Amino acid sequence: MSSLLVEDSATGPAVLARGGSGNPAIANAPAAAIKLPAELHHRFRFIAIDAGLLGEAVDGAAALLDALLAMGVRVALFTDEAMPHLARRLARGVRAENRRRLFLGALEGAELHGFDRRGAAVALVARAEPDGRSAVAALLAQVIAPLRVEPHDRLAISPEPRESRESRDGAPAGGARGLRGAPELAGAVHATASAQRLHEILALQRELDGELGSLAAPRDAAWIIEEPGFDIAREHEIESLLAIANGYLGSRASLPEGSSVSRPATFIAGAFEPSADVSRVPELVIAPDWGRLSVAIEGESFSAEKSGVLHHHRTLDMRRGVLLRECLRRDEGGHLTHLHTLHAASLANRHVLMEALSIAPLNFTGTIRVDAILSGDVRSASGAAHWAGFAADASTKSLLLVGHTHGGLLTAMTSHLREFPEQAAEGPPLPEGLEGARCERTTGARSIAERCDVGVRVAERRRLFRTTTLHTSRDTPTPREAGEALQDELSSRAMADVLGEHTRAWAERWRQADVEIDGAPRIERALRFALYHLIGAANPNDPRCSIGARGLSGEAYRGHVFWDTETFLVPFYTHCYPEAARALLLYRHRTLAGARRKAKALGYEGALYAWESADTGDETTPALVVTPFGEVVRVLSGEQEHHISADIAYAVHAYVRATGDLDFQRGEGAEILIETARFWASRAELGPDGHAHIRRVIGPDEYHETVDDNAFTNWMARHNLRVAAALVRRNLARADVLARLDLRPDEPDHWRDVAGRLLLGIDPQTGLIEQFAGYFGLAPFSIADYAVRSAPVDVLLGRERTQACQVVKQADVVQLIALLWSAVPASARRDNFLYYEPRTAHGSSLSPSAHALVAARLDLHAHAERYFEQTADIDLGNTMGNSAGGVHIAAMGGLWQAVAFGVAGVTRVPRSALSEALPHAPPCPDEDEAIGIEPHFLPGWRHLKIPIAWRGRALEIHVEDGAVEVALEGSAPLPICLLDAGEPACAVLAEPGRRYATRRLGGRVMPWEEVTTC
C-alpha cells in the first residue's frame, strides 16, 4: 500500500492519502474555488467521517451532508457516542428521503445503523459479529462493495492528530485505531481535518459537479455501471453492456475514435436484410456509423488504446440514459489532455442522437483537431454489406448522408457540430457554430465528415455538441426532408434543452418502473441495469417491430424475435409500460399471416408462430448451423418448438387481464387467441388411451428433441384452448373478427374437449409432473457432479448421452409452475421444484430467473438468493461468456418478474373470492379480478418498493417484513387483496389518491387501514 503526503502551504496542514493519487486527473484539474489539496478535488462516492469532527456544529455539517446525500453520495459517520443521540442531532438537517444513504457506525466495535424509507434509524449490525468484523467492515461488505464503489472513490476523514482523543493506553486515536487504522479502508483517500476543514471538504464535494455539468458522472453508485481502463479482451462485452437505445435504434458503446477491436454498430429496430450466414437468414440492418468523433492533439491522434493513458473510465448513467467517458492522456509530445464525452439516443425524439465533447489542455496552448464523421462503411457480424450505395451532400447546413439498402430501405442521416458555452451549457448555442475554429467538409463514396481545427488555451475547456438525426423510409416517404427539418430545429436549441428533454423522458419512465430494494444493493443495481435496457429496447409507437433476444445491443441471433419476448419481457411492459406491451403484441398480430403460412406448410390449421421471427413473421430459424469444430448440424427448433404459439396466447390473455384493454381483446387479441387455439386443436392427436397427445416437439429443455407430450407444451396449449373458448363463449370478440375468421359454432366446444383430454403427465402417487413421456425412465443425472466444468454440460456429455439422461437445459416444468402457478396443485409445486432443480444445467440465460421466482414463492430462501445472484450476474459478470453478442434481455425481464411476482407476490385474484371481504363494494362488470399481493420476503431485504400499472391505475407497493403498504393513483377505485398461504386474508376497495397499510401481528393478518404517509 502506497502513501502520499500532500502538502498545500496555502491551505494548512498536510493530508495523508492512502493508495496514491487515485484518479490522476484530479491532481491536474483546474483549481476549484475552494482551495484544498488536489487529492480532495475528486468526486467521491463514499465518504467516511469520524463524527468527533462534527462537535457542536452538527447543523451546519448536516446541511452539507444532506446536499451530498441528495446527490447520491453514501456517507458514514463513525462515533463513540450513542447512535440514537447522533441520529436525533442529524435529523434536524438531513431530510428523511436522503437518509437511506446515511450510515452511523461505532468507531470501536461492530454496531452499525442505517435509516429506513421514513428516515428512522434501524440497526444493521446490533452487536459484534462472530468473525469480529468491525462496523467499517460490515458497511463495506453490505453496501459499498456490492455497489462496486472502488477504493479510489472512497474518502475517509479523521481528526488531526492534535485533536485526536487519547486511547486507554495513551496511544493517539488516529494511529492504529479509528478510520486511518481501518484495514478495510486501505486504498481509499485519507484526509485529516479540523472541524473547519471538514466543512471546507464537504463544501468542495458539493460544488465539484458543477464544473462538468451534464458530462459529470453520477455520484450515486446504485445508478451507474462503470468500466475502468481499456481491456482488449473485454471490449466487445463492454460495448454491449453500455449500449444506448431508445426502441427505434440502438448503438453499441464503441469508443468514438475506434480501436483495433472496436465493433461499432447502430441497429434500426424492425429493419432486416439478408445475412451472410450459411442459411442467409435475415438480420437487423446496421445503420451508418454516427458515433465517430475523433480528436487529434497537436497532430497526434487521441486514443484510449495507445500508451500514455493515465486514466480512462466509461460510465453508464442509467438514470439519464447517457453514456459518459473520462480520459486523461499524456501523448508522446508531453501534452496532457483531459477529455470527457457524452452519448445518448434521445427518448424524447427517437430520431435524435446526441454527442458532447469537453477538452481541457492541462499543460499547453495549441490546436486540437476534431473530426465528426458519418460513415456508411459498415458490415454486420455475419460479414454482410447491407448498403447498396450512399450519396453524401456537403452543401447543406448540416452534414447529410443518404443511403439505400439492397432490399430498398432508404435512410437519411444528418449531423451538426457546434460549440456550447461554459456553465453546463445553459445558454444558447454560439451563432457561428465553432468560435475561432477552422472547419472544412470532405465527402467520400460512403461517408461525409466535418473537420475543425480548434484553438485551445491551457487549463480552459472547449465544449462541443453534436446532434445527429436518422430517418428511414419505414417512417416517412421523404426521410431526407424530415431529417433536414429536424436538424434545423435542433441547431437552434441549446444542449441543455435537447438533453434535458431526453432526461425528462427517462425520468418519467423511471417513475413508472424503478424498483427500490433496501438491504440488497447488488440486486437493486442489477435490476436497475435490467430496467435500463428494457426501457431502451421498447418503442410503443411502432407495432411493426418487436424485441430480439439481445435487444438493440448486439448481433447475436441476428435480432430475431423468440418466445423470450412474450414470456419474459411483455409482463414487465404490461405492468410498467402498457403502451409498449400493446405494441409488442400488435407485432404478433401483424405477423399472423406468417404464422398461418407455417402452420399450413406443416399440415395444421390456424397459426403456428415462427420460432425465430423477423419482419414478416415467417420462420427464420436457420435449418443448419456450423459448429466451431466445422460440423454441420441440423436445427430442429424451427420445426418442433411449437410452444411459442401458446406462449404468445398466454401473453395476450395476461395483458388484457392486467390492462383491461378491451379494444385489443375484441380485435387483434381475439384473432390471435382463436387462430392459435385452432392450431392446437389440429396439432393434438387423440390416442387409444382417450387422451390427447402432442407428439414430436421440443419444450424449453432443448437438450431433448422430438419428444412426446412435453409438459410445458401441453399445459400451455390447454391454457390457450381454454381462454380462446372462454373468449368466444363470453362474446368478447368483435363480430367482424369472427366473420373474417369464419369461426364455426362447434369449434369452441371442440377446443374445450381437446383441452380436457390433453395429457398433463402428473404422477398420481408422487405429484411429480413428467417433463415428457419417458423422462422418468432416463438415466439419473445431478448437476452437482458437474459443479466445476470448463464447457456446457451437453458438450461434456455429448449429444447421445445428453438425450439419454435426465439433464435439463433450462427451466421446463419449473417454467410451467412459474406461469401457471394456480393451475398446478399446491401440494405438487414444491416437490416438482426440488425434483427438477438439481437436474437443471441452466444452459440458457432464461433459466435462473424462473428458478428465482418459483423458489421465492415457495419460501425456499437459499435457492431464491442463489438464483437472484445468478440472474444478476449473467451480463454484469458475463457468466454465460457471450455478452459480447449483446445483453441477455430476457433474463433482465425475468429478474423483474422474480421480484414482482416472486418476492412481492403480485398476482390476480377472482373478484368472486372477495365477496366476504368486500361485501358492500359496488359491482364492476369489467373488474372481475382484483390485484393480489402475497409477499415472500428474502433474508436481509428490509424494504421493497415496486410500481405496478393495473387497469389504468398506478399502484405503488411497499413491502416490509410483516407489512404491506400501497398507494393508488388513477381515476377509479381498485380492489386490492392481501393473500396468506395462497388464500385471501384481507381486502380493501382502494380509492385514488389514498394510501393503505396492513400488517401481521401475532400470526394474524390485520385489516387494511388508511394511512397518511408512506
Could you tell me which of 485, 472, 607, 593 has the C-alpha nearest to residue 542? 472
Cα separation, 639 vs 753, whole angstroms: 26
Angle (CA) 424 425 427, round 5°: 130
Question: What is the separation of C-alpha 457 from the centre of its chain, rounded to a whole number of angstroms?
Answer: 41
Using an 8 Å Cβ cutoff, are 918 and 926 in contact?
no
Cα separation, 945 vs 957, whole angstroms: 6
Backbone angles phi, psi at 369, to 5 degrees: -100, 130
Cα separation, 677 vs 443, whole angstroms: 56
Could you tell me which of 893, 172, 49, 806 has the C-alpha nearest to residue 526? 893
Spatial CB neighbours of 329, under 8 Å, sequence gap ≥ 6: 302, 304, 306, 308, 309, 310, 336, 337, 339
Cα separation, 737 vs 666, whole angstroms: 8
Q: Which helix (H) or strand (E) covers residue 322, if one does? A: strand 322-330
Backbone angles phi, psi at 613, to 5 degrees: -120, 150
How many other β-carbons are positioned within 10 Å of the β-carbon of residue 444? 13
Distances (CA, A) of 1001 to 116, 139, 846, 962, 982: 20, 31, 38, 8, 18
For helices 670-683 and 711-729, the axis angle rounded to 10 degrees is 130
Cell numbers of 92, please?
Answer: 434536524
Cα separation, 740 vs 670, whole angstroms: 12
Residue 407, amino acid: G
Cell numbers of 50, please?
Answer: 469520524
Q: Which helix (H) or strand (E) covers residue 879, if one does? A: none
Using an 8 Å Cβ cutoff, are 348 and 248 in contact?
no
Q: Where are the beta strands (DSSP E) in 141-265?
A: 154-159, 189-193, 224-228, 244-245, 249-251
Residue 38 is classified by DSSP as: G
Q: Any catalytic annotation for residue 702?
A: yes
End-to-end CA distance of the chain: 46
Q: Where are the beta strands (DSSP E) in 438-535?
A: 438-443, 447-456, 462-472, 516-518
Residue 562, amino acid: F
Cα separation, 979 vs 966, whole angstroms: 14
Torsion of CA 331, 332, 336, 337, to 10 degrees: -30
What would the 3-class secondary structure string for 713-775 be? HHHHHHHHHHHHHHHHHCCCCCHHHHHHHCCCCCHHHHHHHHHHHECCCECCCCCCECCCCCH
Q: Is 145 helix (H, G, I), strand (E, B) or coil?
A: coil
Distances (CA, A) of 349 to 113, 401, 419, 474, 539: 44, 20, 22, 16, 11
How many other β-carbons are positioned within 10 Å of the β-carbon of residue 845? 26
Residue 865 is classified by DSSP as: H
Cα separation, 698 vs 706, whole angstroms: 6
Cα separation, 743 vs 675, whole angstroms: 10
Catalytic residue among 257, 355, 702, 929: 702
Residue 990 is classified by DSSP as: E
Could you tell me which of 337, 339, 340 has the C-alpha nearest to residue 364? 337
Catalytic sites, residue numbers: 702
